[in-house]
Amino acid sequence: MRSFNRVFSGKASYYSYSKGKTASGSSFNRNHLTAAHRSLPFGTKVRVTHGESSVIVTINDRGPFIRGRVLDLSLAAARSLGITNRGVAQVRAEVL
């Protein structure tokens, strides 16, 4: 049986502060390519695209908790996408 990738889009923000442990129990490192999502299983790989840039992140935290946002990215992931200046950006995400 073949499984199909799940695609979703919406606003993504990022968090750059060191917040200790994530909801998965791992230590938060803003320099790793990680993200928070409300319900995807921890360890899920997601390709996040903004414009011509994309990055693959690993879900290791829960959030975002602001209405209308679909992902909270680590600083490294946000930098890879070029969204650190605006803070919030429209993205497309594909579960791998």
Residue-range domains of the chain with CATH: 7-95 (2.40.40.10)
- pLDDT at 16 > cutoff 90: no
* Residue-averaged pLDDT of the chain: 91
Strands 88-95 and 7-15: antiparallel
pLDDT digits (tens, 9 = 90+) for 18-43: 668 899 988 888 899 999 999 999 99
CA atoms within 13 A on the CB side of 63: 19
> What's the rounded mean pLDDT across residues 65-84?
95
Q: Which residues neighbour 5 within 8 Å (Cβ) at sequence distance 6 or greater?
A: 94, 95, 96
Q: How far is CA 72 from each of CA 3, 26, 37, 79, 81, rounded to the nearest angstrom?
A: 26, 16, 7, 13, 13
Query: How far is C-alpha 24 from the geometric centre of its chain's CA atoms?
Result: 14
Alpha carbon of 59 to those of 2, 32, 84, 85, 86: distances in Å?
23, 11, 19, 23, 22
What's the confidence (pLDDT) of residue 1?
41
